[in-house]
A and B are shown apart, each in its own frame.
Chain A
């Protein structure tokens, strides 16, 4: 496992120390992702999921421990990594058109004009937005904005794609479409995906593995292999008996994590 791992998180710990209050967001967290895997991270709210993702993205320095991507320790946002944030409305540049938003990271890294045009057009077509190149992000619905963010990530051709509760703010129907879109993108590009969510069903439906996090100080409670058929389907997969089993297993663990926090809280006070 360690040998072939693309991403390794080793004994990560993150403590926020400010205004005389020390908050241990992440206790001791280790896991690894193989190249091409789709790993979901699920945990109760306030489990430091976003903190973990920001550490992996190189946007936040861990207090101790390290994140290793492709053999190199992450000390800042690494090349070959794209992040899709939850707040789609705030992660697209409102002063750039959809096309320019997708093109921007490539322009910065010196893509040739022809290559740029091809990559951006393809990425937008892939997310079903071939016809809105000249629109501004704020002229689109939330789901479409998140598609633009996904297109920007694909066009960048990352080795690893981090997604931080990307569909938490869209309606259920759009959400199902975006989940399937993400699965298609993952399969087609063979990109490694780390998908953070608070939605247990989403984690089980999307993932090859689901990492269950405890409440903070966070660690990994369980690493559940999702042995569902590779080809997922919103209706068939979600109504299968195995899906229900896996779902309740994850659910129980999260409930246990929440109870543990409740007791710990009482113990402290």
Chain B
């Protein structure tokens, strides 16, 4: 518990200092576009309590749904690709091409095909966040230990049991690495997807405020995105520490031996 607390304090240290600086430097700001932090924070509460259910929650829900979709799709595609060299060789060039397309460029296409509703936004998130999960899953599955694999075979652990007991667990360090990268991509794409022809969400709200020259409100939206990203990253850290306890423990042991 005390270690978690120390980690939290270390993580909060620099942001606190930066916020204090921002507060001091902006305190006497007369600029319309760069209001004081105090003005931004004053609008924060009223703005977002009003928009909590119309913008914040829908955004977060879309983010989590899209992210979950990306993780599931990435792992589901990555496992067979990692396990089958021929399939991988056949699909790799195509994957490289698709991966090279910046997902925001797909927004107009998805809008034509799926409209401007939630399905389009989810697809935008999935189309960008799937890559790090997919590529890391492939690498992780490829690297599953041969001796462990032989052990499974000789004890008759095959099929779904092998997938659950050996492949997914063995590849989990790489899968989690991919999931961490995917999370930040998903946040970016969530915002971008809401900036186009949208009527709700954090991205929409920020654009809306900007157009209405509600500058402190606009800044408060950016601040809220920062807080959201920070909270999600902390939550991810907790998840990772639990899921990969064995991996970090093993690495520590090997370092001490070596």
Contact partner, B250, options A77, A82, A91, A94, Cβ 8 Å: A94
Choose the segment among A14-22, A63-71, A101-109, A202-210 that binds chain B (4+ C-beta atoms closer than 8 Å).
A101-109
Q: Interface size on A (CB < 8 Å)? A: 25
Across the interface, do A108 and B147 meet the contact criterion of CB distance under 8 Å? no
Once bound together, how far apart are the Cα atoms of A139 and B166, in whole Å?
20
Once bound together, how far apart are the Cα atoms of A147 and B246, in whole Å?
20
Residues of B within 8 A of A (CB): 145-148, 150-151, 153-157, 161, 165-166, 169, 172, 246-247, 249-250, 253-254
Residues of A within 8 A of B (CB): 54, 57-59, 76-77, 79, 81-83, 85, 87, 90-91, 93-95, 104-105, 108-109, 136, 138-139, 156
Across the interface, do A85 and B246 meet the contact criterion of CB distance under 8 Å? no
Across the interface, do B253 and A139 meet the contact criterion of CB distance under 8 Å? yes
Knowing A90-B145, A104-B157, the reply to whether A83 touches B151 (Cβ < 8 A) is yes
Knowing A59-B154, A79-B156, A83-B154, the reply to whether A90 touches B249 (Cβ < 8 A) is no
Knowing A104-B155, A104-B157, A109-B156, the reply to whether A139 touches B150 (Cβ < 8 A) is no
Across the interface, do A77 and B154 meet the contact criterion of CB distance under 8 Å? yes
Once bound together, how far apart are the Cα atoms of A54 and B147, in whole Å?
11
* Main DSSP-derived SS at the A contact region: loop
Across the interface, do A87 and B253 meet the contact criterion of CB distance under 8 Å? no
Chain A residue with Cβ nearest B162:
A108
Determine the chain B residues whose CB is within 8 A of the CB of A104 once the complex forms: 155, 157, 165
Distance in angstroms from A14 CB to nearest chain B CB is 16
Determine the chain A residues whose CB is within 8 A of the CB of B172 once the complex forms: 95
Across the interface, do A94 and B246 meet the contact criterion of CB distance under 8 Å? yes
Q: Which 10 A-B pairs have the closest CB atoms?
A: A105-B155, A90-B147, A138-B250, A95-B246, A83-B154, A77-B154, A95-B169, A91-B151, A138-B253, A87-B147
Once bound together, how far apart are the Cα atoms of A54 and B249, in whole Å?
31
Knowing A94-B247, A95-B246, the reply to whether A59 touches B156 (Cβ < 8 A) is no
